[in-house]
Chains A and B, each alone.
Chain A
Amino acid sequence: MTTAQLLGNDPGWLIAVKAVLVFAICVVSTLMAVWTERRVLAKMQLRTGPNRVGPAGLLQSLSDGVKLALKEDIIPAAADKVVFIIAPIIATAMCFMAFAVIPMTGVVSLFGHKTALQLTDLPVGVLYILAVTSIGVYGVVLAGWSSGSTYPLLGGLRSSAQVISYEVAMGLSLVAVFIYAGSMSTSDIVASQHQHIWNAVVLFPSFVIYVISMVGETNRAPFDLAEAEGELVGGFHTEYSSLKFALFFLAEYVNIIAVSALATTLFLGGYHALPGLGFTEQWFGGWFTFIWFLLKVNFFFFIFMWLRGSLPRLRYDQFMKFGWKVLIPVSLVWILIVATLRVLQQQNAPRVAIIAFAAGLVIIVMAISSVFERNKQKIRTTDLPEGATPNFPVPSLPNVQSINVSGGN
């Protein structure tokens, strides 16, 4: 029985319960994520991080949230009120919606029903996630535009340009997964990885491209140009306060968890255990798979924190150049290779042909790279031209001999 059939048998009340459960998981994991990030980042900087509220500061983000909610809510006079209020709602709602198709456990029993912790299983689940997260960008763009202020507008525009650019690379990296799994449904992709091998191994380039573009997609360091605090104050949420700001905050973290969950599902075998530890999946009536899922998501979340702790922010042109001129061409070429290999396999081509194709590719890559190396322009050092000597005193220029000040005609 496939997951889709399993979920099809859910009664209505169970779907409602699962919806609440998914929502609760998102909110609680956001609270935990904020705390984890602050603690881990602090450790990377020889600090302690929040440790006052609750045991080891665990309730810090909760108290921050309560504080934010109780603060004065300011709507600037220049703001477009309706859009200003709708924007954070769009951003947050879309992030939560992305979680609907993420398979979080294997077959478990929930209130006596055999089901899986996944709200629904669409045949085009991954496309649905891409669509929903793209709509989430509207929240950011509209927030920037409706604030009636310069910096938020710049932040919103940057963010839209960024997400569009990196969504292309992300989508292309997913195409390889679709080709390999033969399905766009999240649960089918997990199942196909369970039968064969993790996509992160077979489709390693796609995995790397996805991980890079998911950081770009979520506006996180080192790609956090949309809210570059040194350049744009707070970016698109500069004018936001109180609960509306909290919603953006929530959206950002739910988004991070959503893309991490998607990465887990598509590349790291989803809720299944690590190879060789398959027996653990039966523990707690199958609920242990949820632990595996969380562990894998946290692995990606750690990468987010690690990047934030290690890398400075990119310049905007470098960022765009990297997205369009490196990530997208590389993924395009990689998809061609994957598609060719897949077709060769499905047509039952002889093993020799596949190996010959792979070897030919390697030779072509080596040939191109050697040509590039040779043609690399040797940077010449030219001799310093003789310094111009004006006939009036000027401050001396670097590398120019000092000027005779007493001169003059």
Chain B
Amino acid sequence: MTDFNEKMDVEKRNSGQADINSVPFIEVEQPGPAPLAQQAKGFWVTFSTMFKKNQTVQYPDVKAPTQPRFHGRHQLNRHPDGLEKCIGCELCAWACPADAIYVEGGNNTPGNQMSPGERHGAVYQINYLRCIFCGLCVEACPTRALTMTNEYELADDKREKLIFEKEDLLAPLRQGMLAPPHPMYPGMTDTNYYNGDVKEAHPSQAEK
């Protein structure tokens, strides 16, 4: 080995070849220290900043509104008559990259009609310890049942409290809505529901 190295060195010396480990460089002109006035500029920056309006948001007292499309807590929406939009298809659970959603579908029976059509989500859980708020579940949802709200205060002191059940996620009942289970709007199919033909609950739906 040493012989080889020596030989190489001799060859290099003879051929006038520089050692490739010595990096060729150009000496560039160094700017040197800046004049004193320029150095003092930095002091003026900090001094003048003291009199500017500060950027702190006094968070618990003042809550800055989020952007309208902020990815916050999920919400399971309802049809205008109060029936749930979720059909228990589990597409959201399959889309979730963090495996945060767990869904069990259930059959709609005449006495237990939770959503239009044949199926509804019987169990719906989102684990907010795993959720990364990417919104892929919302994109996957075929009925617009799952959307995201702007609510961002999701801290808690127990792991169990951060697994949100269906009751926690369901949208509240609004004007003209009836709490399911109740029958579908008379004369309407699930397609009508999907197309938005149902505007509010029919009086007959309240009768059990």
Contacts and interface: CB of A to CB of B under 8 A. Distances in A.
Interface stretch (A103-111, A157-165, A304-312, A319-327): A304-312
A397 interface: yes
Interface string A381-401: 111110110100010011110
Given A47-B55, A48-B54, A394-B20, A310 B30 contact: no
Interface in B18-76: 18-20, 23-30, 42-43, 45-47, 49-50, 52, 54-56, 58
Contacts of B52: 46
A43 B29 CA distance: 38
A206 to B, nearest CB: 19
Contacts of A44: 46-47, 49-50
Interface in A35-56: 40, 42-48, 51
Contacts of B58: 48, 51
A381 B30 CA distance: 11
A388 B18 contact: yes
Given A380-B27, A385-B24, A399-B25, A310 B45 contact: yes
Contacts of B18: 385, 388
A379 interface: yes
Contacts of A384: 24, 26
Nearest to B45: A310
Contacts of B42: 310-311
Contacts of A390: 20
Instruction: Give the secondary structure class of A's interface.
Output: loop
A47 B24 contact: no
B20 A46 contact: no
A302 to B, nearest CB: 10
Contacts of A46: 49, 52, 54-56
A43 B43 contact: no
B160 to A, nearest CB: 30
Interface string A39-75: 0101111111001000000000000000000000000
Contacts of A387: 24
Contact of A400 (B24, B28, B49, B54): B24
Contact of A382 (B17, B27, B47, B50): B27
Interface of B: 17-20, 23-30, 42-43, 45-47, 49-50, 52, 54-56, 58
The 6 closest A-B pairs by CB, nearest first: A48-B56, A43-B50, A309-B46, A44-B46, A310-B46, A388-B20
Interface of A: 40, 42-48, 51, 306, 309-311, 379-385, 387-388, 390, 394, 397-400
Given A42-B54, A385-B24, 9 more contacts: A44-B46, A47-B54, A310-B46, A311-B42, A379-B29, A381-B29, A387-B24, A388-B18, A399-B24
